[in-house]
Amino acid sequence: MDMQNAFQSLNWLAIVVSAISAFALGGLWYSPVLFAKRWMKETGITEESAAGKNMLKVFGLAFVLSLIAAFFLAMFIGPEAGASFGALAGFMAGLGWVFTFFGISYLFENRSLAHFLINAGYSVVSLTIMGLIIGLWH
């Protein structure tokens, strides 16, 4: 399939919904319910320093980046994938590319294993869910 046909065969609603799922998972993943306290400890971010950020900009750009990730995952998965292939492709992309490259960066930056697992884990789970949605929704 050529790029033009691949681009035209994308399910844009599935891409938007999968981006929303990544955004929602991030809200849960980095909340006090799951990893907020440990993540803040590992990053050195305090509630006071976080309060000083332009959160509209942070959340807005995070969503745009989620959309970009969903678009490229959909291109990677292709139009013929089903739910199981989509989830597997998302998982493999997360584990095979994001997890490993985060690992390389974290080794050179001397970051903690906990910090690595929190951030890389979010990426793997998020991409798996995104792949499931994209693959399921033809």
pLDDT at 25 over 80: yes
Residue with tokens 């849960």: 28
| Percent of the chain with pLDDT strictly greater than 90 | 81
**Within 10 Å of residue 97's Cβ, how many Cβ atoms?**
12
34, 121 contact by CB (below 8 A): no
Helix axes 113-136, 83-93, angle to 10 degrees: 150
Better pLDDT: 84 or 49: 84
* Band of residue 123 on the pLDDT scale cut at 50, 70, 90: very high
* pLDDT tens-digit readout, 37-69: 999 999 999 888 888 889 899 999 999 999 999
Mean pLDDT value across the chain: 94
What is the mean pLDDT of the segment spanning 108-133?
98
Q: Which long-range contacts (CB under 8 A, 24 or more apart) does 97-105 make?
A: 98/123, 98/124, 98/127, 99/123, 99/124
State percent of the chain over pLDDT 70. 99
Q: Looking at the predicted structure, is the pLDDT value of residue 14 above 90? A: yes
Residue-range domain boundaries for the chain: 3-136
Q: For residue 53, what pLDDT is reported? A: 84
